[in-house]
Amino acid sequence: QNGSIRSRCRPNILVTGTPGTGKTTTSSALAEATHLRHLNVGDLVREKNLHDGWDPELESYLINEDLVCDELEDLMEEGGNIVDYLGCDFFPERWFDRVVVLQTDNTVLYDRLSRRGYTGSKLSNNIECEIFQVLLQEAKESYPEDIVVALKSDTIEDITRNVTSLTDWARSWHPAS
């Protein structure tokens, strides 16, 4: 099996974006609608210790990218996953059929992250990340342009619309022959 090229029969979708843009909310609604498997990478990193410790300055775990990719490889090969993470440049390009970058108006995002308890540089770094479209750039540099889509995520209506359109996309997806 190793080395043989077998195409998956269900698609893999990456949902990325700055913290607070709605990745987890969108991914879990999409998983419910499509029966694809929601993989929350941040949760997985904490639960399975796929990190190199806590960085007090960044106030987050230092993710171990190799451990994360090893952990996910078999599932990704199988297909049918929604991967929810705030970064995207270290996953193998071949894993994904669609890369969704959620984007939120920065005043809306500021309120969401404040409500989540973000303050100081953690708050301002994330707002800056959103203003400079860091995740959209990262996605465009890491994946073929035609699989990357930026979707607005300011309101509940945006989530509903995004989930509907991604569900339609997933239903009509076929493996490349």
CA-CA distances (angstroms) from residue 16 to 2, 3, 81? 29, 29, 14
The tokens for 151 are 């979707």
Q: Which stretch binds ligand ADP (CB under 6 A): 55-63, 68-76, 121-129, 153-161?
A: 153-161
CA-CA distances (angstroms) from residue 141 to 93, 106, 112, 145? 10, 23, 28, 8
Binding map of Mn ion across residues 4-33, x = CB under 5 A, - = no contact: -------------------xx---------
Residues 22-61 that bind ligand ADP (CB under 6 A): 22-25
Angle at 18 between CA 15 and CA 23, to 5 degrees: 35
Cβ–Cβ < 8 Å for 153, 103? yes
80 binds, among ligand ADP, Mn ion, none (CB under 5 to 8 A by kind): none
Can residue 122 be called a binding residue for ligand ADP (CB under 6 A)? no
Q: Minimum distance between the CB of residue 150 and ligand ADP, rounded to whole angstroms?
A: 14
Q: Minimum distance between the CB of residue 168 and Mn ion, rounded to whole angstroms?
A: 24
Q: Where does this chain bind Mn ion (CB under 5 A)?
A: 23-24
